[in-house]
Amino acid sequence: MPAADRVHYRARPFRAAVRIRNFAAKAVLSPTVLLMLVCFYGCALWTAYLSVTRSALLPNYQFAGLLQYVRLFATPRWNVAWSNMFLFGVLDILGTLGLGVLLAVLIDRQVRFEGAFRTIFLYPLSISFIVTGLTWQWVLSPTIGFQNFVRGLGWRDFVFDWITRPDRAIYTLVFAGVWHQSGLIMAIMLAGLRGIDREIWRATRIEAIPPWRVYLSIVLPMLRPLLVTCIVLIAIAVVKSYDLVVAMTGGGPGYASDLPGKFVVDFAFERANIGQASAAAAVMLGSVLTVLAPYLYLELSRRDR
């Protein structure tokens, strides 16, 4: 074969091959992209649209403005669930973060048996929220749990029946939440603490700065982005909460410990009110975006810098 033809013949398959390779990558990603568009974003828009229609038992695509939202916020049960979310959220974040950071700091002080401590603090994360909720329901139960135990020790008048009291039930969720999630915060913050330049620690030793002051004034401020990440994670978990409420209090007594996550599912399936459920779900989405938007904006602008 003449030399010129040989070169031409070899070049063509190569160019075709380049196109094929990139095509494979796009082909692999297409189903995911499609599913994301349809199932995540499309469905979210669908729900958002349902929330501004006249839907009740069945979907009714007649536009109705903010009717569902007005009705929603006039519903006592929703208002309880909504305010519960903030109560539970703030306490859960403070408790989880507080304990998690404290544990991380203590372990960072080079303790022995670090492996054993970490194993104990992290195992709740492997347990489902259903088991967590049930376990804490039993532990805080006045009949068989903590109150009973303390009374059995002699304090006949000891009372700890929060889980059965409408005004206190929501706070019991905080125990379970902190127990379950502190380990995660500890693991994340410990990784961050270990990444701190050791020479900074040595500089503080020479300047006679006590360790607690170093954590407070130097190290933890350096880890501010990580702390914000932790807050965002817990906050979003609180918004999504369903399993924990169902197992621990069932939303009760009555609906005293209800949360938006449970409200949406109950109204979509048991109560069969699509309009109200969609409005509530849209509010949930709005909450998540409110927490997420500033965080993502900060993160992305930090990366660009």
Partner 1 sequence: MSGVVVRGLTKSYGPVHALRAIDMVVEPGDFAVLLGPSGCGKSTLLNAIAGLDDIGAGSVEIGGVDVTPREPSERGIAMVFQSYALYPTMTVRRNLSFGLRVRSVPKTEIERRVAWVSELLQIGGLLDRKPSQLSGGQRQRVAIGRALVQQAKVFLLDEPLSNLDAKLRAEMRVELKRLHQSLAATIIYVTHDQIEAMTLATRIAVMRDGRIEQYATPDVLYERPATLFVAGFVGSSGMNFLPGSLGRASMPVARIEADAIPLDGYPFRAPFADGGKVIFGIRPEHVSFADHERGGPIIEAETLFIEPMGADTLGWFQYGSQRISARLSPQCARGLSGKVRLALDIGQVSLFDPTTEQRL
Partner 2 sequence: MSAVAAPARIGRLGLYAFLAATAIFFAIPLLVVISTSLKSLNEISDFSIFVPPSSPDLAAWWKAWHAACTGLNCGGVHVGFWNSVRILIPSVTLSVLAGALNGYALSLWRVPGANLILLALLLGAFIPYQVILYPLVKITSTIGIYSSLPGIIAVHILFSLPVMTLLFRNFYSGLPDELVKAARVDGAGFWRIFVSVMLPLSINILIVATILQTTGIWNDYLLGLIFAGRENQPMTVQLNAIATTSTGEIEYNVNMAAALLTALPPLFVYFVSGRFFVRGITAGAVKG
Which residues inside 168-207 make contact with partner 1, applying CB under 8 A?
197, 199-200, 202-203, 205-207
- How many residues make contact with partner 2 (CB under 8 A)? 88
User: Are 164 and 142 spatial neighbours (Cβ–Cβ below 8 Å)?
Assistant: yes
CB burial of residue 110 (10 Å; 0-12, 13-18, 19+) = exposed
Q: By CB under 8 A, is residue 3 in contact with partner 2?
A: no
Work out whether the CA dihedral 44, 49, 53, 57 comes out positive or negative. negative
In angstroms, the CA 135 to CA 289 distance is 32
User: Considering only residues 89-148, where is the footprint of partner 2 by CB under 8 A?
Assistant: 99, 103, 106-107, 109, 111, 117-131, 134-136, 138-139, 144-146, 148
**Residue 158 partner contact from partner 2, partner 1, none using kind-dependent CB cut-offs of 5 to 8 Å:** none
Q: How far is the CB of 91 from partner 2 (least distance, A)?
A: 17
| Residue 209 binds partner 1, judged by CB under 8 A | yes
At 172, list the tokens: 């019991």
- Cα–Cα dist 288/147, whole Å: 37
Which CB atom, from 2 or from 305, has the smaller least distance to partner 2?
305
Alpha helices per DSSP H over 36-75 = 43-50, 67-74
Answer with the entry of partner 2, partner 1, none that 222 interacts with (C-beta below 5 to 8 A by kind). Answer: partner 1
What are the backbone dihedrals phi and psi of residue 63, each rounded to the nearest 5 degrees, phi first? -65, 135
Site track for partner 2 across 208-247, x = CB under 8 A: ---------------------x---x--x--xx-xx--xx
Q: Give residues in contact with partner 1 (CB under 8 A).
A: 197, 199-200, 202-203, 205-210, 213, 217-218, 221-222, 224
